[in-house]
Structure 1
């Protein structure tokens, strides 16, 4: 399972911060490489290693996220965290209530493919809508209502294939943030969101993991972390000169290929 964990960790680290759905890509990848026959462990693995990638955000943005980074309490940083926590609440409540139901109904390639295509179209439509609109500067203070609005957008990402990054970035753009500011807030929002999701999954399943499965999880976790460190920096440089249309088209093409593959398999 070692090399499978490495591959899935790489996929997670690359896709977590791009608006293309990390969970969706992990579900599709697992259909080909089959991490484990222990379904409960496999589903937990896909969620928990996302926290590894998200810790890359903490590393890169430590001074902006830690209220005492400059030796004393920074009130602006504390207020910013309160806005992040406000944005987390809607998805946290729905995820806690419907986690098992969503996993049973939507953690499959067909649901992922439909979500990839649909939100790929949405991403293209949003970019076309905002093409002539001058964006709000990246350093404009984030409003409480904007944070909460993005939080409601994040609820859509409870269905795999949607992409938490995609819907929070789309929400940020529609609510007036610039592309870099929307992407950064999406990164920051991921920290408590994925921490909560990982802890919930561990609480439900950790006692059934074998020693080998724990080591597999640790390998995937750290590969996702180091890959995430690289991808975040490349992505932010990309956004200085480009929009999200490439990712919209990528989602549509990949989603259609998955649906075509499913159709061919069905016809056989």
Structure 2
């Protein structure tokens, strides 16, 4: 493989890690770039290979958040286990069927999310819910099933959907939502990685250098998010949701 292709993939992976660490959605950057630069490679191999840098960047971002943000470990461990299983099943299904039929529905959902986040200025600025422990577990498990399966089956924007779930459903502020979402996202990535490794779909020659760059981006992005706080993260969230909207809009109307 030509050196310039690997360099371009690494640059994309760095920016993907940076954005993903703040609010998720890094796949919106590195996935299209990889599909363009590797036109003769099977899509399943590209998606499988990109799970390695995604996991690497999320790991380094999560480590930074762990130093500064309080985690609900009981909730996170249960959500992570459920998300791992769901992502594994989603990736298994992806090897048999196309995910295209889901994209029109996601397009509409993203429009509603973008409008709501833009109009509600205090969205994610503070905890607005006081759920019981049982309710937290119930909604957390439900989130993990749905979003975990989505990550394994489709992928782009998973981190943003997790952040949205932690804010809108569980009542976290954006900073705590981003931190906790990283831990669950690790599980979904790992679930998909296990499936793609078993299927022999990972191209290690691009996955490893991209993983290093994604980790660096994740490290820097997480530090910036912690320093800047909720307002900064909210702006990034809107940018990523709009980016996801454009991506799915292109897939729905122009492919």
TM-score, length-scaled by structure 1: 0.71
1:125 aligns to 2:87 (yes or no):
no
1:105 aligns to 2:98 (yes or no):
yes
Aligned to 1:82: 74
Aligned to 2:171: 176
Work out the number of aligned pairs and report it: 244
Of stretches 181-190 and 148-157 in structure 1, the one that deviates more from structure 2 is 148-157
Give the CA RMSD over aligned residues: 3.8
Instruction: Using the TM superposition, give the Cα deviation of residue 199 of structure 1 relative to its aligned residue in structure 2, in angstroms.
Output: 2.8
The answer to whether the Cα contact below 8 Å between 1:85 and 1:192 also exists between their aligned partners in 2 is no
1:239 aligns to 2:229 (yes or no):
yes
1:226 aligns to 2:221 (yes or no):
no
The answer to whether the Cα contact below 8 Å between 1:88 and 1:189 also exists between their aligned partners in 2 is yes
Of stretches 227-236 and 164-173 in structure 1, the one that deviates more from structure 2 is 164-173
Deviation string, structure 1 residues 199-235 (Cα, Å, up to 9, x no partner): 33223216xx6xxx42322101111111110011122
Instruction: Using the TM superposition, give the Cα deviation of residue 260 of structure 1 relative to its aligned residue in structure 2, in angstroms.
Output: 5.1
Instruction: Using the TM superposition, give the Cα deviation of residue 245 of structure 1 relative to its aligned residue in structure 2, in angstroms.
Output: 5.0
Of stretches 225-234 and 163-172 in structure 1, the one that deviates more from structure 2 is 163-172
d(CA) in 2 for partners of 1:217, 1:249: 27
Instruction: Using the TM superposition, give the Cα deviation of residue 34 of structure 1 relative to its aligned residue in structure 2, in angstroms.
Output: 1.9
d(CA) in 2 for partners of 1:31, 1:82: 38
TM-score, length-scaled by structure 2: 0.73
Aligned to 2:6: 2
Of stretches 28-37 and 176-185 in structure 1, the one that deviates more from structure 2 is 28-37
Q: Indicate which of 181, 188, 209 corresponds to 1:193.
A: 188
1:160 aligns to 2:154 (yes or no):
yes
Q: Indicate which of 47, 65, 75 corresponds to 2:51.
A: 47
